[in-house]
């Protein structure tokens, strides 16, 4: 039986493991113990995902035929390193870092003329010299994800704390400071094969209100974004792809669009969008199973991208996340009933118990959910969301009495 190695065993790898097994593959996951995708795999190789050479040695002895992962930036350099060392189909480590390292990504965008904010890299708490950009600034680690370590800095007084926080979240202790660009965020999902970019879909982002750093509560496919602006973004994606020339992979990008139609790239990643975007939302919206395509490419199979990329259908898909007020959970009702709502495809509400402490949400990873939904049109989607809001009831005992779910 053909053996494949999946780096990581988080929630984002569960569907990838399931897809590989449906394809008749023997699946080994590389991960420390305690992660959810382990239960779905054939075998666990218990190892730190950053222990590159140990993983290479294991993969060599296990006669692995392919190495891949999805929905997590932190796994992708390991995937590249191992596949390179074993001469398996994959992308070079240098190319992958063009996406995963935010400073490298910004420098390439500058070089090729893709719209990107002014920026500077720092490694200490001193105010950067020669960065003559008015506040506010965005401060973030060059090698983190899920909004971890990101802050909006409004003046010099806030700068040191923001950099200190970002450095604590950076494996390589490097931070990037960027000009703040005000606009609405959209996501762009694509696939690269043999150095050519293929767009899959655009999605709209809806944010929680009253939070300093924007955190999405919903992402909805397909997008309402003007088609001319979509084309401008696709041209940016194509330009970046031609520059770094990945062999294959899912591409997840985020762009800001201001009121005048100007665009600014937030970031791109050579992996599928998290929160089930690549595994569920794109297949539900387009009919395209991009995880199986990723696996075929990793196995070195020749694929007919021109035929595959043709959209099988066009539906609405979305994820819904929520947060809770600061306090102690007093009551939980309706989680099981959510699955009975027509249009609800997946409910992933984990680790919520009466008596739990709820803390303020400061990063994407602190959201509750998601709930994955599908509909034929936006009006139907709205009806499904209303039913979800009516069904799920979580009460939190706060300093100001009992409070309910915060959906936006």
Reported as a single tens digit per residue, the pLDDT across 47-72 is 999 999 999 999 999 999 999 999 99
CB 367 within 8 A of CB 361: yes
The terminus-to-terminus CA distance of the chain in angstroms comes to 48
Burial 329-363 (b: 16+ CB within 10 A, else e): beeeeeeebbeebebbbbbbbeeeeeeeebeebbb
The helix (H) or strand (E) run that includes residue 336 is helix 335-338
Residues 6+ apart with CB under 8 A from 202: 186, 187, 188, 189, 221, 222, 223, 225, 230, 233
pTM score, whole prediction? 0.96
Residues 6+ apart with CB under 8 A from 211: 361
**What per-residue confidence (pLDDT) applies to 238?**
98
Instruction: Name the token pair of 100.
Output: 């995963």
**What per-residue confidence (pLDDT) applies to 127?**
85
Q: Is the peptide bond prior to 168 cis by the omega test (within 30 degrees of 0)? A: no
Phi, psi angle pair for 357, to nearest 5°: -85, 130
Q: Which domains does the chain have, with CATH numbers?
A: 3-88 (3.40.50.20), 118-179 (3.30.1490.20), 182-314 (3.30.470.20), 318-403 (3.90.1170)
d(CA 139, CA 125): 11
**What per-residue confidence (pLDDT) applies to 172?**
87
d(CA 311, CA 255): 23
pLDDT digits (tens, 9 = 90+) for 86-132: 999 999 999 999 999 999 999 999 999 999 999 999 998 888 888 99
Q: Of 119, 144, 10, 139, whose CA–CA distance to 71 is shortest?
A: 10
**What per-residue confidence (pLDDT) applies to 283?**
96
- pLDDT per residue as tens, the chain (408 positions): 999 999 999 999 999 999 999 999 999 999 999 999 999 999 999 999 999 999 999 999 999 999 999 999 999 999 999 999 999 999 999 999 999 999 999 999 999 999 999 999 999 888 888 899 999 999 999 988 777 889 999 999 999 999 999 999 898 899 999 999 999 999 999 999 999 999 999 999 999 998 877 899 999 999 999 999 999 999 999 999 999 999 999 999 999 999 999 999 999 999 999 999 999 999 999 999 999 999 999 999 999 999 998 877 889 999 999 999 999 999 999 999 999 999 999 999 988 999 999 999 988 889 999 999 999 999 999 999 999 999 999 999 999 999 999 999
- Strand 196-207: give its sheet, edge to edge: 263-269, 248-257, 184-193, 196-207, 216-221, 316-322, 368-375, 344-347
User: What is the torsional sign of CA 366, 368, 272, 3?
Assistant: positive
């Amino acid at each position: 039986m053909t053996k494949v190695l999946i780096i990581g065993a988080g929630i984002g790898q569960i569907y990838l493991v399931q897809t590989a097994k449906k394809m008749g593959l023997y699946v080994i996951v590389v991960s420390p113990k305690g992660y959810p995708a382990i239960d779905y795999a054939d075998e666990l190789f218990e190892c730190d995902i950053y222990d590159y050479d140990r993983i290479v040695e294991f993969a060599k002895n296990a006669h692995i035929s392919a190495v891949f992962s999805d929905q997590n930036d932190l796994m992708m350099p390991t995937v590249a390193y191992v596949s390179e060392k074993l001469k398996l189909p994959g992308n070079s480590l240098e190319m992958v870092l063009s996406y995963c390292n935010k400073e490298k990504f910004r420098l390439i965008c500058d070089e090729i003329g893709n719209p990107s904010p002014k920026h500077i890299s720092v490694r200490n708490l001193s105010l950067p010299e020669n960065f003559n950009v008015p506040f506010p600034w965005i401060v973030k680690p060059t090698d983190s994800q899920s909004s971890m370590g990101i802050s909006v800095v409004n003046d010099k007084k806030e700068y040191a704390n923001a950099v200190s926080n970002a450095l604590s979240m950076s494996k390589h202790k490097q931070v990037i400071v960027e000009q703040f660009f005000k606009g609405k965020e959209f996501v762009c999902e694509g696939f690269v094969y043999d150095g050519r970019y293929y767009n899959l879909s655009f999605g709209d982002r809806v944010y929680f209100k009253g939070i300093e750093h924007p955190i999405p509560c919903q992402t909805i496919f397909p997008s309402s974004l003007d088609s001319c602006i979509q084309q401008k973004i696709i041209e940016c994606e194509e330009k970046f792809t031609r520059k770094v020339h990945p062999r294959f992979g899912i591409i997840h990008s985020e762009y800001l669009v201001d009121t005048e139609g100007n665009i600014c790239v937030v970031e791109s990643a050579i992996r599928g969008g998290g929160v089930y975007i690549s595994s569920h939302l794109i297949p539900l919206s387009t009919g395209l199973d991009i995880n199986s395509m990723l696996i075929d490419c990793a196995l070195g199979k020749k694929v007919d991208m021109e035929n595959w990329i043709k959209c099988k259908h066009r539906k609405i898909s979305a994820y819904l996340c929520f947060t809770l007020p600061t306090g102690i959970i007093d009551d939980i009702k309706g989680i099981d009933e959510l699955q009975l709502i027509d249009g609800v495809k997946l409910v992933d509400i984990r680790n919520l118990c009466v008596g739990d402490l709820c803390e303020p949400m400061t990063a994407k990873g602190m959201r509750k959910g998601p709930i994955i939904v599908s509909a034929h049109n936006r009006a139907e989607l709205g009806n499904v969301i209303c039913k979800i809001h009516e069904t799920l009831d979580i009460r939190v005992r706060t300093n100001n009495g009992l409070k309910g779910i915060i959906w936006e």
